A and B are shown apart, each in its own frame.
Chain A
Amino acid sequence: EAQVTQNPRYLITVTGKKLTVTCSQNMNHEYMSWYRQDPGLGLRQIYYSMNVEVTDKGDVPEGYKVSRKEKRNFPLILESPSPNQTSLYFCASSPTPTGRRSPLHFGNGTRLTVT
């Protein structure tokens, strides 16, 4: 089954404790992206990757890092989480970065709480 898999689904942590949210897709997609979803704000892009070893900042990259060492994986790293990063996070992928022809496929989300 074609899918985007995120782990964990739920995570509660404390301020400053480094964490990684994993994302993997089995569709051989070149393009991957991370979004955060906050009430009243919709989804906002954090980082994206056009292909292996090619990553760039989205609209809200502060406090996050990503890497793309393999085509299928795109982990999101919070080196020193803070309470304002409490949010619902989504990983997404598509065959190409052009939304017109390649709608995004989303994972089921990771709900992160930072205390």
Chain B
Amino acid sequence: GDSVTQMEGPVTLSEEAFLTINCTYTATGYPSLFWYVQYPGEGLQLLLKATKADDKGSNKGFEATYRKETTSFHLEKGSVQVSDSAVYFCALHGSSNTGKLIFGQGTTLQVKP
């Protein structure tokens, strides 16, 4: 079945460092891919999405490119801030008609001043 694998956390960076969080997926067909962010004590918020191969999703300085050849959707940001500290989830919506999202296990990012 469909699945998403994220890099293990936690990831600890200094402010202004470059961020990469790896995400790879397994799915039949052409899934849509998402990154959600969860700030402490809050629900998940959509950060960005891509619905077809080679699409680049971007928001708030974060980017991710849908790479079908490597089945990846890595999240990147050029210069992280303390306020980016959160848990990041990669997710896919596949061929199911149930509206279900398949989530990775989440990666905790901590940014230190």
Interface residue ranges, A against B (CB under 8 Å): 4, 31, 33, 40-45, 48, 50, 56, 58-59, 90, 92, 94, 96-100, 102-104, 106-109
Contacts and interface: CB of A to CB of B under 8 A. Distances in A.
Contacts of A48: 98-100
B97 A97 contact: yes
A1 to B, nearest CB: 14
Given A48-B98, A58-B100, A99 B93 contact: yes
Interface in B84-113: 89, 93, 97-101, 103-106
12 contacts: A31-B99, A50-B99, A90-B43, A98-B93, A99-B99, A99-B100, A99-B101, A100-B32, A102-B99, A103-B34, A104-B99, A107-B43
Interface of B: 4, 32, 34, 36, 41-46, 49, 51, 89, 93, 97-101, 103-106
Given A42-B89, A99-B32, A100-B51, A108 B42 contact: yes
A108 B89 CA distance: 15
B49 A58 contact: no
A42 B97 CA distance: 21
A80 B109 CA distance: 36
Contacts of A106: 36, 43-45
A83 B32 CA distance: 35
B104 A42 contact: yes
A97 B93 CA distance: 10
Contacts of A40: 105
Contacts of B34: 99, 103
A103 B36 CA distance: 10
A41 B105 contact: yes
Contact of A42 (B4, B42, B93): B4
A80 B93 CA distance: 32
